[in-house]
């Protein structure tokens, strides 16, 4: 089916932008817009086959499959800029690691997995076919937690504040954290339970909650990080070593049992303390929340804090396009100044300007908003991600992926 990308007249879609007054939206614009949308769907059906030529003001519907980076494309301002450049992006949300396995992979204009390991698998599947890669921005994997949980970890001696009062960012000693989770950090009893650290009353074992390592990049990356730490800060170099480490860390992942989805959404919800007290998320999700807090309440959110693993791994999402329209969208996302600025406002590190982390555009934005700049550790440590087949082996062993 080729109707996934077609040409329609622009103004009819403006109703998708943020609403004006509820009265106008409800009583007129929305039914009108829906009607228009349905009518246009009819037109799309008629034009299936893609024989239409583009009027200058026409918009292109681009279909993409992506995971956490949909935060970018779902942003109202990003949508507006894209629309102004003639793009409407239809998103299909999936876990990053599922992207490469989807039967209908080839039917999309682009995919945007959250990290290289998955991008490489997509590249394998698209061998001999059109594929253009862009890396517009990146964001490291971190742990998000609540202040009183950070205080517990501080007491346990596995994190150190980066500074500031109250501190928003901490460095996480992952090997110590792994020992804390398995109860061997000290000889003390019950240290692996949150309730060991008053005033917490949570009787659960200490673990970082992750999304499913079988399905998501963040889950598998955290798994690799734990494996690296459990292996004496070394990547396993062969299959038997990888399996041995995987078996050692599997009990730590079994504590959580079933993994949740949309951990960032749960973490920032008012019930986050209950359901997602400490989660593996991306830095951009945290910083976007801080910017929202500044715009809303006028002050930073000091309840949520970030833990940066001391041994880090750059998680660089790759925008992989399979069609001409996808290529054009990729170039726009990478090069357009308004979109780059918006990406920064959404908490991403953008590539291309500034160079090192400390003087990046994101750091400038944080400083301008009165927020401290975290030291992410990115670039400080050697790559610790094992070879892709070994990582797959470990993820499958730990996650029991089917």
Based on the shown chain and the rule CB under 8 A, indicate whether residue 22 belongs to the binding site for another protein. yes
Q: Which of 10, 148, 182, 256 binds another protein (CB under 8 A)?
A: 256
Q: Applying CB under 8 A, does 298 fall inside the site for another protein?
A: no
Q: In terms of CB distance, is 59 or 385 closer to another protein? A: 59
Q: Which among 309, 305, 274, 299 is positioned nearest to 287, based on CA atoms? A: 305
What is the x/- site pattern for another protein, positions 179-198, by CB under 8 A? -------------xx-----
Applying CB under 8 A, among 2, 17, 35, 133 the residue interacting with another protein is: 35
- Considering the complex, state which of residue 196 and residue 328 has its C-beta at the smaller distance from another protein: 196
We find the least distance from the C-beta atom of residue 323 to another protein, in angstroms, to be 19
If we measure between CA atoms, which residue out of 371, 213, 231 comes closest to residue 306?
371
What Cα–Cα distance (Å) separates residue 314 from each residue in 282, 287, 321?
11, 17, 21
Piece of 257-265, 331-339, 357-365, 373-381 that binds another protein (CB under 8 A): 257-265
Backbone angles phi, psi at 146, to 5 degrees: -95, 155
Query: Binding to another protein by residue 128, rule CB under 8 A?
Result: no
Q: Is 299 in the site for another protein (CB under 8 A)?
A: no
Q: Which stretch binds another protein (CB under 8 A): 272-280, 358-366, 375-383, 387-395?
A: 272-280
Measure the CA–CA gap between 399 and 97, rounded to whole angstroms.
Answer: 13
Tell me: does residue 201 bind another protein (CB under 8 A).
Answer: yes
Q: How many CB atoms lie within 10 A of CB 141?
A: 25
CB atoms within 10 A of CB 34: 11
The residue from 106, 120, 238, 261 that contacts another protein (CB under 8 A) is 261
- C-alpha gyration radius of the chain: 23
Cβ nearer to another protein, comparing 256 with 365 = 256
Beta strand 304-309 with 169-172: parallel, antiparallel or unpaired? parallel
As a whole number of angstroms, the distance between CA 78 and CA 233 comes to 40
List residues bridging with 141 in a β-sheet.
282
What three-state secondary structure class fits 364? Answer: helix
Q: Please report, as ranges, the residues that interact with another protein according to CB under 8 A.
A: 12, 22, 26, 30-32, 34-36, 38-43, 46-47, 52, 92-94, 192-193, 201-205, 254-259, 261-262, 265, 268-271, 273-275, 402
């Amino acid at each position: 089916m080729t109707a996934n990308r077609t040409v329609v007249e622009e103004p009819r879609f403006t109703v998708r932008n943020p609403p004006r007054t509820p009265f106008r939206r409800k009583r007129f614009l929305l039914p009108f817009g829906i009607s228009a949308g349905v009518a246009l769907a009819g037109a799309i059906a008629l034009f299936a086959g893609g024989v239409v030529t583009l009027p200058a003001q026409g918009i292109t519907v681009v279909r993409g499959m992506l995971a956490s980076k949909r935060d970018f494309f779902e942003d109202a301002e990003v949508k507006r800029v894209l629309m102004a450049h003639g793009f409407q992006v239809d998103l299909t949300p999936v876990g990053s690691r599922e992207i490469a396995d989807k039967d209908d992979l080839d039917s999309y204009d682009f995919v945007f997995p959250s990290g290289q390991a998955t991008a490489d698998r997509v590249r394998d599947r698209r061998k001999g076919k059109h594929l253009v890669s862009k890396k517009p921005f990146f964001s490291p994997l971190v742990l998000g937690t609540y202040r009183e949980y950070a205080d517990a970890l501080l007491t346990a001696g596995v994190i150190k504040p980066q500074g500031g009062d109250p501190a928003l960012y901490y460095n996480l000693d992952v090997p110590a954290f792994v020992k804390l989770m398995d109860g061997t950090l000290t000889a003390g009893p019950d240290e692996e339970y949150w309730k060991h650290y008053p005033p917490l009353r949570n009787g659960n074992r200490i673990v970082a909650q992750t999304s499913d390592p079988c399905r998501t990049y963040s889950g598998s990356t955290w798994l690799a990080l734990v494996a690296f730490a459990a292996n004496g800060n070394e990547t396993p170099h062969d299959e038997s070593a990888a399996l041995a480490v995987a078996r050692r860390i599997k009990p730590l992942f079994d504590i959580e049992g079933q993994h949740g989805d949309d951990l960032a959404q749960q973490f920032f919800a008012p019930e986050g303390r209950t359901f997602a007290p400490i989660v593996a998320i991306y830095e951009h999700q945290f910083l976007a929340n801080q910017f929202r807090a500044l715009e809303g309440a006028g002050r930073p959110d000091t309840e949520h804090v970030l833990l940066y693993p001391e041994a880090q791994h750059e998680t660089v999402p790759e925008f992989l396009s399979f069609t001409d329209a996808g290529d054009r969208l990729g170039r726009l996302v990478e090069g357009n100044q308004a979109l780059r600025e918006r990406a920064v406002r959404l908490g991403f590190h953008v590539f291309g300007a500034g160079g090192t982390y400390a003087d990046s555009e994101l750091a400038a934005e944080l400083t301008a908003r009165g927020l401290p700049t975290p030291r992410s550790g990115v670039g400080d440590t050697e790559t610790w991600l094992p070879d892709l087949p070994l990582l797959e082996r470990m993820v499958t062993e730990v996650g029991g992926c089917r």
